[in-house]
Amino acid sequence: MTQAVFTRAPSAGRAFAAQLQRDLTIAFRSRSELINPLMFYVMGIAMFPLGVGPGPERLADIAPGVLWVLALLSTLLSLDSLFRRDFDDGTLEQLVLNVDPLFVGVLAKVLAHWLVIGLPLALLSPVAALMLFLPAAAIPTLVLTLLLGTPILSLLGAVGAALTVGLKRGGLLLTLIILPLYVPVLILGAGAVTAAINGVDPAGQLAWLAAILALMLTFTPFAAALALRVGLE
């Protein structure tokens, strides 16, 4: 059998798949790190009954907001891992130098991040919702808003992580930069769940989330790629 010799750089599709595979493999190597953001989510949710009181009515009242805010915070805390490990061991530079166009590699990393953090969060949310006595009728809407919203959080977060990748104590600055950008996602996501509780059709909010996701998918990988180049200058 003849050996295949690559005389051209791999196509964008191949580069995407290769980067995705690499990041997923690395992520699954340390099982404990995979669980951390999810544990934070559940623990954070549990803080609320402890702080506010176990009464089901009040908890159900604040449940949409709390479930979403904690999802926000869990994503924020996990954003550091998006680029920092690769920055520390030099592979980030390799990514920037070799992958062309760069936004393909960035998109692959963001997808890996979402598959490992955002998606499990969305799937775990019914458990958290039960802890806060969210009416069962609203749970599918909750999961749907998280499925639409967490990719947006990962995409916007990637821009922030790229901007702060080389900085010492960049973690806090990252949250400062990203939180205002997260506001619409929070409002729409929690608002959709609240609508579902009240028997109102959340289709409008979900449509808006989908539209924002589409916008961010086309726009943020370029911004993040540019930010990576700036950060590695």
Partner 1 sequence: MGALKTLWHRLGSPRWFFEISGPWAIGALILGLIGIAVGLVWGLAIAPPDYLQGNSFRIMYMHVPAAILSESCYILMGLAGAVLLIWRMKLADMVVAAAAPIGAVFCVIALLTGAIWGRPTWGTWWVWDARTTSVLVLLFLYFGVMALRQAVPREESAGRAAAILAVVGTVDIPIIKYSVDWWLTLHQPSTFKLTAAPSMPPEMYLPLLVSVLGFYAFFFGVLLFAVGNEILVREQRTQWVNDLVRSRLR
Write out the residues near partner 1 by the rule CB under 8 A: 156, 159, 163-164, 166-167, 170, 173, 176-181, 183-184, 187-188, 191, 194-195, 208, 212, 215, 219-220, 223, 226-227, 230-231, 233
Sequence-distant (≥ 6) Cβ neighbours of residue 70 within 8 angstroms: 41, 44, 45, 128
Q: Considering beta carbons, is residue 42 or 179 the nearer one to partner 1? A: 179
Sequence-distant (≥ 6) Cβ neighbours of residue 151 within 8 angstroms: 110, 114, 118, 213, 216, 217
Q: Considering beta carbons, is residue 173 or 217 the nearer one to partner 1? A: 173
How many other CB atoms are found less than 10 A from the CB of residue 26?
Answer: 16
Question: Which structure tokens are listed for 93?
Answer: 């530079």
Q: Shortest gap between Cβ of 34 and partner 1 (angstroms)? A: 29
Q: Considering beta carbons, is residue 116 or 156 the nearer one to partner 1? A: 156
Q: Shortest gap between Cβ of 88 and partner 1 (angstroms)? A: 18
Q: Residue 181 in 3-state DSSP?
A: helix
DSSP string over 180-229: HHHHHHHHHHHHHHHHHHTT--THHHHHHHHHHHHHHHHHHHHHHHHHHH
Rounded Cα gap, residues 59 and 10, in angstroms: 53
Q: Considering beta carbons, is residue 135 or 171 the nearer one to partner 1? A: 171
What are the angstrom distances between the C-alpha of 218 and each of 44, 103, 178, 223?
A: 32, 10, 18, 10
- Position 84, amino acid: R
Q: Shortest gap between Cβ of 12 and partner 1 (angstroms)? A: 23
Q: Considering beta carbons, is residue 111 or 192 the nearer one to partner 1? A: 192
Q: Considering beta carbons, is residue 117 or 174 the nearer one to partner 1? A: 174
Q: Shortest gap between Cβ of 150 and partner 1 (angstroms)? A: 17
Contact 181, 106 (CB under 8 A): no
Q: Shortest gap between Cβ of 198 and partner 1 (angstroms)? A: 10
Q: Considering beta carbons, is residue 131 or 217 the nearer one to partner 1? A: 217
Q: Shortest gap between Cβ of 169 and partner 1 (angstroms)? A: 8
Q: Shortest gap between Cβ of 214 and partner 1 (angstroms)? A: 12
- Of 27, 40, 63, nearest to 145 by C-alpha is 63
